[in-house]
Structure 1
Amino acid sequence: MEKLFLVEDEPKIRQELAASLIKNGYSCILEDQFEHVAEDILAEAPDLVLLDINLPVHDGFYICREVRKVSRVPVIMVTSRDSDLDEVMSLNTGADDFISKPYNLHVLLARIAAVLKRSRGGNDQALLKYKGVCLELLKSKVSYQNQEMELTKNELEILKKLMNQKEQIVSRDELIRTLWEQAEFVEDGTLTVNINRLRRKLESIGLNGFLTTKRGQGYMIEWTNEF
């Protein structure tokens, strides 16, 4: 039974959500003290964290950054604000997914299941290599010429998909289906945020032009002589 850690400061919402998740086969840890949330998450070692953004003491962005310093536990950020900026900031702080209140419980359950599935991984080979670029699936890292960069789970899945289909265009729809099982609930811009963040990380270790956009078609890995 997967263990979920709920960080929600509204007691009624917290209790109702926990009851629904337990009914659907999860065990739940409820945070009701907010001074040391990151430390509590790390101590409990849950399978997934549902993290509200608007919290007393420290907001969800701060907590997610602190957790990400030492842990790759899956995090889904939750907000009551209807703002694209919240989604961008959530992904940039290392969250694996994002959902806005009021959410449909079935959509939330689908998101949780998809993130947990990605976190469990499969029987894929642990290492993908091509022309000096190394993608370590178990460590969620990409390296090139003695430089390395950690990836979020979404970034890892995108790069794995593109490297497995190197020199082929992968459509946006195919990537969305890879990342989110319930693709109809995912906004197109969410993929763009993940792609742009992954591209910046690749460029930071010298892989400029490694991930290219094919306008109107999708994305691909360009294997030029530079690599």
Structure 2
Amino acid sequence: MAKIFIVEDNPDIIHAIAQNLSKWQHDTITVKDWANVANEIITAKPDLVLFDITLPTFDGFYWIQEVRKYSQVPIIVISAAEIDTNVMHAVTAGADDYIMKPFTMTVLLAKIQALLRRNKQVTDTEKLDWGHNSFNPLTNVLTNAYGTAQLTPTEGAMLQVLLSHRNKTVSKDQLLQWLWQGGKYLNENTLNVNISRLRTKLSTIGLRQCIHTERGLGYRLVVDHE
């Protein structure tokens, strides 16, 4: 059973989601104060957050960025906005997955279960050492002599996949398969944005060149000076 925080202002959608989640014995929480969304989420400590984009006060992109300042909780964006123009914004803000309205509850539940399962698998893993770097899947923190980099659940999962295949090329299809259940509802551009975001965070601790792009193939994790 998981605790799911629903950031949505449409009562019909809230009711439908909550009703379906209850069948899987998940608890749901909704927003009480639209001027205090981030604090409510942080206080509630949910296992996953469902975020609409169009909201009564600030939009979902703003609130996701605010949540990410204090929490690495898995986030799925739900929006009627055109996916090609907004999914990149959502992912850049810190979201882990994306689904467009109208959607079926079967697809939404599949995404929720996959993200919860993936997050549990990551947090059940011991620390991973890589050269002079140490990655903690429980906290999604990468540490070395230059400092620490706090990763989101998706960034942490991507790094863990690359770490488990270090010095070997991991295809984009493989990453989509492992991270997003085959990538059926996300495209390659979303993966590229996540890789770019991960690279930016790694560069803050001296690992700017550690992820190599193998053109037409995928990505390979190496030591920074290779």
Normalised by the length of structure 2, the TM-score is 0.91
Task: Give 1:144 deviation, angstroms.
Answer: 3.3
Deviations 1:186-219 (A, max 9, x none): 3222211111111122223221221011112111
For the residues of structure 2 that align with 1:83 and 1:122, how far apart are their CA atoms? Answer: 28
**Partner of residue 214, structure 2:** 214
Indicate the larger mover: 100-109 or 21-30: 21-30
Instruction: Verify: 1:133 aligned to 2:133, yes or no.
Output: yes
Map 1:36-51 → 2, pairs under 5 A:
36-51=36-51
1:102 aligned partner, one-letter code: P
Indicate the larger mover: 195-204 or 164-173: 195-204
**Partner of residue 158, structure 1:** 158
Instruction: Verify: 1:24 aligned to 2:20, yes or no.
Output: no
**Partner of residue 148, structure 2:** 148
For the residues of structure 1 that align with 2:105 and 2:115, how far apart are their CA atoms? Answer: 15
The 3 A distance-change label for structure 1 pair 152 and 219 is same
For the residues of structure 1 that align with 2:138 and 2:19, how far apart are their CA atoms? Answer: 33
Which 5+ residue runs of structure 2 have no aligned equivalent? Answer: none
Which 5+ residue runs of structure 1 have no aligned equivalent? Answer: none
Indicate the larger mover: 206-215 or 178-187: 178-187
**Partner of residue 189, structure 1:** 189
Deviations 1:104-154 (A, max 9, x none): 221111111111112223576422222222222122012333222111111
The 3 A distance-change label for structure 1 pair 84 and 144 is farther
Map 1:42-191 → 2, pairs under 5 A:
42-121=42-121, 125-191=125-191
Task: Give 1:13 deviation, angstroms.
Answer: 1.7
1:6 aligned partner, one-letter code: I
Q: Would you say the 8 A contact 2:61–2:90 is kept in 1?
A: yes
Task: Give 1:8 deviation, angstroms.
Answer: 0.8
Q: Would you say the 8 A contact 2:142–2:148 is kept in 1?
A: yes
For the residues of structure 1 that align with 2:21 and 2:137, how far apart are their CA atoms? Answer: 29
Indicate the larger mover: 5-14 or 141-150: 141-150
Q: Would you say the 8 A contact 1:110–1:182 is kept in 2?
A: no
2:99 aligned partner, one-letter code: I
Q: How many residue pairs are counted as aligned between the two chains?
A: 226
Task: Give 1:31 deviation, angstroms.
Answer: 2.3
For the residues of structure 2 that align with 1:118 and 1:46, how far apart are their CA atoms? Answer: 16
Q: Would you say the 8 A contact 2:99–2:185 is kept in 1?
A: no
1:24 aligned partner, one-letter code: W
Percent identity at matched positions? 37
For the residues of structure 2 that align with 1:44 and 1:215, how far apart are their CA atoms? Answer: 43
The 3 A distance-change label for structure 1 pair 20 and 124 is closer
1:98 aligned partner, one-letter code: Y
Instruction: Verify: 1:199 aligned to 2:202, yes or no.
Output: no
Task: Give 1:185 deviation, angstroms.
Answer: 2.6
For the residues of structure 2 that align with 1:94 and 1:115, how far apart are their CA atoms? Answer: 14
For the residues of structure 1 that align with 2:24 and 2:46, how far apart are their CA atoms? Answer: 17
